[in-house]
Amino acid sequence: MAEDYRPMWKELGLDLDTHDALLKAVGEMYGAAFLSQKNRPAGMAYLDFVMSEVHGLRIKELMDAKKQGRKVIGSYCVYVPEELVLAVDGVSVGLCAGAEFAFDQAEKYLPRTTCSLIKAAFGFKLARVCPYVEASDIIVGENTCDGKKKAYEIMKGIIPSFYVIDLPQMKSETGRGLLRAEYAALAKKLEEISGKKITANSLKNGIAIVNAKRKAVNRVMALRSADPAPISGLDALLINQVFFYDDPVRFTESVNKIADELEERVKKKQGAVPAGTPRVLVSGCPMAVPNWKVPGIVETSGAVIVGEELCTGERGHHQLTEESGKTVDEMIDRITNRYFDIHCAVFTPNPTRLGRIREMSEQYNAQGVIDYTLQYCQPYQIEGGVIADELKKNGTPVLRIDTDYSAGDTEQIRTRVQAFLEQIKK
């Protein structure tokens, strides 16, 4: 980072020494996982820049936006609609953390048997190392899994501006109605904290901006069906991760440029990896920055990941919000329909997820599926077993990996991945 951001971090209340240690660790991990790759698309230089300034320039932009009266809205889940945030001229930032940091402090509040994603959210807050958390004017949590629900009760005591939206558990019309009511209440809350009214124009604009961002990412993802794959799974995951906190318009423009470049690569049969490299789809729990462990193992073992059935993947952007609504109410209906279709494992039953994994496997010509779960994540662990059985019935090889944010099991996972790749090559 060229500029000295320490005064800004200090103003935000970060613990500067601990924060330095985090940035150093993430920088090293990034170099090892990303910059060591060969045949990367030139457009990935933008993502490299974003990552080099992830706690610098982007935070400065957030602080400048706040000075202009805009509000920063943090969230931990893809069920929090960015469209509503943009409709009050707010800035939406994803707060999920992917590093084992200050878990000792987190475990003062949470049982050891809590998933790494939740522990990291606590760790980052308690250790004061995340400028996104500290810059947020309000943080929106959501009642999804039991771990998050109960953890948010405690989080509310730590972060006074914490706001929770309730989420249905069933894909029934009652469930859709509940989500609709929660989104309407969130819209009011956002109006209240921003002092700005959501109008048909502002919401229409918000929907258009988010849809454009999704379309750009969907373009990149669709091009991964080619052999050779024009982009590595790690780079594609990075695009999916940065999706949650970069400026949406600038990000869309940059990702469209990457998609243009990948189109050319596909035409010329140029790949990030050689043609015939074993192709894998990953499904399961989200992978937040800097959780690159499993994709790193898979791709340094000689395979390429061609799709992510994850929230840091297709679940985050596959569906668009219908743009036909004229009034604010109609648009909130369309937003509700869009988000209600996301097939997170917290829903019961959740049959559409299996169908989508099958479709993705076919679309991306995947030879096998790696189902990735975080230890103690019951919704994805339990559903993963059912999904694996169903996929295997149709002859799709499946490897299930249940892990956490530590590096302790890296070599054990590598051995299992290598054996799996031998199986799918046959």
> Which tokens hold the place of 112?
């050891």
Choosing from 92, 136, 144, 211, the residue that interacts with ligand BJ8 (CB under 6 A) is 144
Q: Closest separation between CB of residue 15 and ligand BJ8, Å?
A: 25
Q: Closest separation between CB of residue 374 and ligand BJ8, Å?
A: 5
Alpha carbon distance 412, 157 (integer Å): 39
Choosing from 14, 26, 29, 115, the residue that interacts with ligand BJ8 (CB under 6 A) is 115
Alpha carbon distance 30, 375 (integer Å): 24
- The verdict on 155 binding ligand BJ8 (CB under 6 A) reads no
- The verdict on 120 binding ligand BJ8 (CB under 6 A) reads no
- The verdict on 110 binding ligand BJ8 (CB under 6 A) reads no
Q: Is the separation of the CB atoms in 308 and 366 below 8 Å?
A: no
Q: Closest separation between CB of residue 379 and ligand BJ8, Å?
A: 5
Cα four-point dihedral sign 175, 178, 184, 185: negative
Q: Which helix (H) or strand (E) holds 121?
A: helix 116-126
User: Taking CB under 6 A as the rule, which mask of x and - marks residues 380-399 in contact with ligand BJ8?
Assistant: x-------------------
- The verdict on 147 binding ligand BJ8 (CB under 6 A) reads yes
Alpha carbon distance 103, 112 (integer Å): 9
> Which tokens hold the place of 81?
């609609």
Alpha carbon distance 215, 323 (integer Å): 13
- Contacting ligand BJ8 within 53-82 (CB under 6 A): 77-79
Q: Which stretch binds ligand BJ8 (CB under 6 A): 181-189, 215-223, 255-263, 342-350?
A: 342-350
- The verdict on 118 binding ligand BJ8 (CB under 6 A) reads yes
Phi, then psi, of 280 in degrees rounded to 5: -130, 140
Sort strands 368-374 and 398-403 into parallel, antiparallel or unpaired.
parallel
Helices (H), 243-341: 248-267, 293-300, 314-317, 328-340
Of the two residues 26 and 117, which places its CB atom closer to ligand BJ8 in the complex? Answer: 117
The residues with which 284 forms a beta bridge, in sequence order, are 372
Give every CB contact of residue 355 below 8 A, 6+ residues apart in sequence.
Answer: none
Choosing from 187, 210, 344, 370, the residue that interacts with ligand BJ8 (CB under 6 A) is 344
Q: Which stretch binds ligand BJ8 (CB under 6 A): 104-112, 129-137, 213-221, 340-348?
A: 340-348
Closest by CA position to 255, among listed 208, 220, 300: 220
> Which tokens hold the place of 164?
């929770």
- Find the Cα–Cα–Cα–Cα dihedral 123, 124, 129, 133, rounded to 10°: -150
Choosing from 145, 234, 304, 306, the residue that interacts with ligand BJ8 (CB under 6 A) is 145
Asked if the bond preceding 349 is cis, omega within 30° of 0, the reply is yes
Of the two residues 202 and 241, which places its CB atom closer to ligand BJ8 in the complex? Answer: 241
- The verdict on 379 binding ligand BJ8 (CB under 6 A) reads yes
Q: Closest separation between CB of residue 48 and ligand BJ8, Å?
A: 26
Q: How many residues bind ligand BJ8 (CB under 6 A)?
A: 20
Phi, then psi, of 345 in degrees rounded to 5: -65, -5
Q: Which stretch binds ligand BJ8 (CB under 6 A): 140-148, 183-191, 263-271, 295-303?
A: 140-148
Closest by CA position to 397, among listed 369, 356, 418, 376: 369
Of the two residues 80 and 332, which places its CB atom closer to ligand BJ8 in the complex? Answer: 80
- The verdict on 236 binding ligand BJ8 (CB under 6 A) reads no
User: Taking CB under 6 A as the rule, which mask of x and - marks residues 267-306 in contact with ligand BJ8?
Assistant: ------------------xx--------------------
- For ligand BJ8, the binding residues (CB under 6 A) are 77-79, 115, 117-118, 144-145, 147-148, 285-286, 311, 342, 344, 346, 374, 377, 379-380
